[in-house]
Copies of this chain bind each other. A is one copy, B any other.
Amino acid sequence: MKMLRTLLWTSLAAASVTAHAMNGVDGAVKGMGSTNVNWQPLPEMPPIPADNPVTEPKVLLGKTLWFDKRLSKDGSLSCNSCHNVMAGGDDNRPNSIGLGDKHTDRSSPTIWNVGYQSVQFWDGRAKTLEEQAKEPFISPAQMAMSSWDALLERLNKMPTYVEMFKASFPNEENPVTPDNIAKALATYQRVLNTPNSAYDRYVKGDMMALTEQQVRGMKTFAEAGCTTCHNGANFSGQQKEGGFFMKFPLFSGSDYDKKYKLLDDYGRYDITKNEQDKHVWRVPTLRNIALTAPYLHNGTAITLFEAIKVMAKTQSNIELTNDQITDIAMFLDSLTGEFPVQTMPRMPAALGMTFTSKKK
């Protein structure tokens, strides 16, 4: 498999598949930034909020809700429609397709390892997974339910759901609430983690886990300043209070601004209306990035190669050689982790439930 993946990259540059001991990762290359990087493997679990512990009934409820298309207006979309857990956790599109073929403005972020993100949504408008989980159901461009009441009414029509909510929130009299829907979904998402990537095995001491080229790419990744933002176990920056954000493009004025439409979306500014938040974004994870093309918040970079080239120019103001870019791409490929085996949830029976929408 590694061989095959590598072959796909050889159109870009000659790639070595020889496993190789770490060398020179802590060195420095002239003109590039510091490489004193604290490389961390993925912890077993992301932070768990005290008021929403991970329990088995809640994970099962969350997984069931996650796949339930009946929680969208016309019964055609579930959370998984745009954040596909059977794939890289996204939909491989520059934007996502919501109800009635509406298209969202930004590219769907991966759901894998999302518990390690400091804030949620590209613009960080939700502080927690619980807060995030409430938006897509009633967003007209997504699942488009007319109201929370309409959603609760559907859930309450399915006795198995009511039982699952009771099992998940045993101390509550009427547990079918928006807050508990969000809590169950957040709990499911917190177990969607992909440990044991080649990178993780390498930083834990398995010197054969990365190829020579990947080790070289790791070094260049650090030297090019990528770790300024993409640091920590999830390569999404520190999990600090308030979120980890960065301006993008930091160095504007290049041809890329127009080519990749980098100035079309104000990002966090749209939420805060603070001038300094213009073009400011949450730093996304790089884990499983090889699986989640296209790239950037607007999906304008089709290949990882392009994305690396753009980021080096706009964030570090450097031009990487094709070889350096390819090395980094191969290193990023080592961030593809192990996806846990999951059983499919059964959708609770809904006797006589029917969804309609107008023909076009």
Contact = CB atoms under 8 A, between A and B. Distances in A.
A5 B69 contact: no
A95 interface: yes
A325 to B, nearest CB: 14
Interface in A157-173: 159-160
| Residue from the set A8, A70, A343, A352 with the largest chain B CB neighbour count within 10 Å | A352
Interface string A317-360: 00000000000000001001001011111110111111111111
Contact of A85 (B75, B88, B339, B344): B344
Interface residues of A, number: 59
Copies of this chain: 2
A86 B347 contact: yes
B69 A344 contact: no
A60 interface: no
A87 interface: yes
B95 A75 contact: no
Contact of A81 (B76, B86, B345): B76
A133 to B, nearest CB: 20
B351 A160 contact: no
Contact of A349 (B70, B85, B290, B355): B290
A268 to B, nearest CB: 23
Contacts of A333: 351
A360 B102 contact: yes
A92 B67 contact: no
Contacts of A217: none
Contact of A95 (B4, B88, B299, B359): B359
A7 to B, nearest CB: 8
Given A85-B344, A344-B344, A75 B91 contact: yes
A52 interface: no
B92 A76 contact: no
A36 interface: no
Contacts of A278: none
Interface in A206-259: none
Contacts of A1: 159-160
Given A347-B84, A351-B290, A356 B93 contact: yes
A97 interface: yes
B103 A304 contact: no
Nearest to A107: B354
Interface string A278-294: 00000000000011011
Contact of A303 (B86, B103, B352): B352
9 contacts: A70-B92, A75-B92, A84-B347, A94-B354, A103-B358, A291-B350, A293-B352, A302-B354, A342-B344
Interface of A: 1, 4-5, 8-9, 67, 69-70, 74-76, 81, 84-88, 91-95, 97, 100-103, 159-160, 290-291, 293-294, 299, 302-304, 333, 336, 339, 341-347, 349-360
